[in-house]
């Protein structure tokens, strides 16, 4: 198990399979709130489900409504278990906090080089720690 340190944004603990996206994600218009699938045309993760995964992406983008879409996904059981960002911004941070999704950013490694789709990842939002089980 490899451990990395980052900044805690939203508290909690989650363990699950990684979904890694090098593209930013807009939850409003880019994710289907009824299915938890990335629907943005041309997105590198188009067609993939975020439900129950550890979602790794650089940052969010788009409307502030995205925070509430993330909350809606959580209420329906379709949200990611945890989130790791290069640098979180208010849309994703607020969405994670109100949804109870652990979120860590500013990890002390190039997260896209050390974690791949399918890796088992732990997000410890209480302590700002990310662990990867290869």
Tell me the per-residue pLDDT of 39-59, one tens digit each, with 9 for 90 and over: 999 999 999 999 999 999 999
**Distance (Å, whole) CA 84 – CA 73:** 17
Residue 46 is predicted with a pLDDT of 98
Quick check: 27 and 60 in contact, CB under 8 A? yes
Q: What angle do CA 70, 96, 22 make, to 5 degrees?
A: 80
- pLDDT tens, 106-129? 999 999 999 999 999 999 999 999
Overall pTM > 0.85: yes
Question: Which candidate, 34, 77, 99, 85, places its Cα nearest to that of 55?
Answer: 85
Contacts of residue 9, defined as CB under 8 A and 6 or more positions apart, other chains included, come to 85, 88, 93, 96, 97, 103, 104, 105, 125
Domain of 128, in residue numbers: 2-133
**Distance (Å, whole) CA 47 – CA 74:** 19
Question: Which candidate, 50, 7, 6, places its Cα nearest to that of 25?
Answer: 50
Share of the chain above pLDDT 90, in %: 98
State how many domains the chain has. 1
- Token reading at 104: 């860590």
Quick check: 31 and 76 in contact, CB under 8 A? no
Query: The domain spanning residue 53 has which CATH number?
Result: 3.50.30.10
Share of the chain above pLDDT 70, in %: 100
Q: Of residues 26, 63, 88, 99, which has the active-site annotation?
A: 63
Q: Is 8 marked active-site?
A: no
């Amino acid at each position: 198990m490899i451990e990395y340190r980052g900044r805690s944004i939203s508290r909690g603990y989650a363990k699950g399979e990684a979904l890694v996206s090098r593209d930013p994600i807009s939850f409003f218009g880019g994710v289907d709130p009824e299915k938890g699938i990335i629907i943005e045309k041309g997105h590198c993760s188009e067609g993939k489900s975020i439900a129950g995964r550890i979602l790794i992406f650089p940052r969010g983008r788009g409307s502030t409504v995205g925070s509430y879409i993330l909350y809606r996904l959580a209420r329906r059981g379709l949200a990611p278990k945890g989130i790791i960002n290069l640098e979180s911004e208010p849309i994703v941070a607020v969405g994670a906090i109100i949804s109870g999704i652990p979120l860590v950013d500013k990890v002390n490694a190039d997260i896209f080089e050390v974690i791949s789709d399918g890796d088992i990842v732990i997000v410890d939002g209480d302590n700002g720690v990310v662990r990867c089980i290869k």
